[in-house]
């Protein structure tokens, strides 16, 4: 990794420097005084209009960043349709349509967390192993830089190297693993291949400091869940919460249960949230849209509850903007992250803590 450092974190992203620059401290959360500002005029779009920071632990620490956004434009671990390589760009574009101020929590997310965008992880077409190695390295740099990670995929093989990075970062402790998905994704392998988008929980259980009692799944439904996937959860004693149970008990009770499981006796958790866990009516732009899923209002409620618990890595995967001309899928995914961060900020603030 490069040791080149960036400047100290600035509230206004670098791409809007120049004669038309807004120069007051809170310009990024108010209606523009001079021109359209960061809202819509995104320039070189970053997530939430955050400053770009090289994905280097020293640069991240120097910036004082507590949240790093990383894009993973990877869709070659896929067993169904492709398109997730455009997920990070779609999510960044969606964020240009919002201010970072969340009135529900009275917080400016950008400055509270000193958010930085560390760009996209470079990937090697046709080489899943090498690409996963890069994912591992870049996530490690963010964690070593003292930041939590927002990871946007990319297909659902992304959590395999990313969870391994979190595991190694917490070698002396234990980690929990959450899997929110329409599919169980617990294949021991797929045609002999162990690192695909349907093997995340299986590979999480391979980690030396991740126990089955701290792994939980929520949201499975319909016919793309083979018996061996079900057997994996049953045989290993992993908590499996299908969508029928979520619909019966309610999203709040179920969300709290899975986060309690992941955090019980652990030092860090990985939360893997597949966009196909949401109902196809509000999330058509995903790899495998399915009916009878989590609705938009429930998804934002889930995100707010997640914010009260926190996660060291929150990953949004399988986002496919190309399949949604309305762009509601990317906007909903963006709102999920904003609600999570808003709730997290309020929780920390109420506890008298800093990020």
Q: Where are the domains of the chain?
A: 14-350
| DSSP state, residue 85 | G
> Tell me, what's the pLDDT at 263?
98
> Tell me, what's the pLDDT at 106?
97
> Tell me, what's the pLDDT at 76?
78
- Secondary structure class of 34 (helix, strand, coil): coil
Q: Where are the alpha helices (DSSP H) in the chain?
A: 57-63, 87-95, 109-113, 128-144, 159-169, 200-206, 227-236, 243-249, 251-263, 296-309, 328-350
Question: Is 294:250 a contact under the CB 8 Å cutoff?
Answer: no
**What CATH architecture does domain 14-350 belong to?**
3-Layer(aba) Sandwich (3.40)
Distance CA 138, CA 74 (A): 14
Distance CA 311, CA 299 (A): 16
Q: How far is CA 163 from CA 48, 51, 320, 338, in A?
A: 25, 26, 22, 22
> Tell me, what's the pLDDT at 4?
46
Distance CA 204, CA 195 (A): 11
| Count of beta carbons in the 10 Å neighbourhood of residue 26 | 11
Distance CA 35, CA 346 (A): 31
> Tell me, what's the pLDDT at 128?
86
Q: How far is CA 254 from CA 105, 231, 246, 250, 347, in A?
A: 23, 22, 6, 6, 20
> Tell me, what's the pLDDT at 2?
45
Distance CA 342, CA 246 (A): 24
Q: Which residues of the chain have pLDDT under 70?
A: 1-7, 13-16, 37-42
């Amino acid at each position: 990794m490069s040791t080149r450092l960036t400047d100290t974190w600035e509230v206004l992203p670098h791409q809007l420097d120049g004669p038309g620059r807004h120069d007051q401290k809170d310009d990024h959360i108010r209606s523009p005084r001079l021109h359209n500002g960061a809202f819509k005029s995104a320039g070189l779009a970053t997530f939430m209009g955050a400053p770009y920071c090289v994905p280097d632990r020293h640069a991240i620490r120097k910036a004082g960043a507590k949240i790093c956004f990383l894009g993973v434009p990877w869709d070659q671990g896929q067993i169904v349709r492709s398109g997730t390589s455009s997920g990070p760009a779609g999510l960044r574009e969606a964020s240009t349509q919002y201010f970072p101020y969340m009135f529900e929590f009275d917080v400016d997310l950008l400055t509270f967390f000193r958010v930085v965008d560390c760009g996209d992880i470079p990937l090697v077409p046709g080489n899943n192993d090498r690409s996963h190695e890069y994912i591992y390295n870049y996530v490690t740099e963010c964690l070593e830089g003292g930041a939590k990670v927002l990871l946007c995929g990319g297909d659902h093989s992304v959590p395999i190297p990313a969870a391994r990075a979190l595991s190694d970062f917490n070698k002396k402790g234990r980690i929990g693993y959450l899997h929110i998905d329409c599919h169980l994704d617990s294949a021991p392998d797929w045609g002999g291949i162990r690192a695909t988008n349907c093997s995340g929980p299986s590979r999480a259980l391979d980690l030396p400091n991740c126990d089955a009692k701290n792994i939980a799944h929520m949201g499975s439904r319909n016919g793309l869940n083979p018996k061996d996937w079900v057997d994996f959860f049953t045989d290993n004693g992993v908590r499996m919460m299908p969508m029928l149970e979520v619909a019966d008990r309610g999203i709040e009770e179920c969300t709290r249960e899975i986060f309690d499981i992941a955090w019980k006796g652990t030092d860090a958790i990985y939360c893997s949230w597949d966009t196909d866990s949401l109902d196809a009516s509000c999330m058509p732009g995903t790899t495998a849209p399915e009916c009878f899923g989590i609705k938009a209002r429930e998804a934002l409620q889930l995100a707010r509850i997640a914010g009260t618990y926190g996660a060291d890595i929150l990953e949004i995967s399988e986002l496919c903007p190309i399949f949604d001309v309305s762009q509601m899928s990317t906007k909903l995914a963006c709102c999920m992250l904003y609600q999570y961060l808003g709730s997290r900020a309020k929780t920390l603030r109420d506890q008298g803590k800093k990020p």
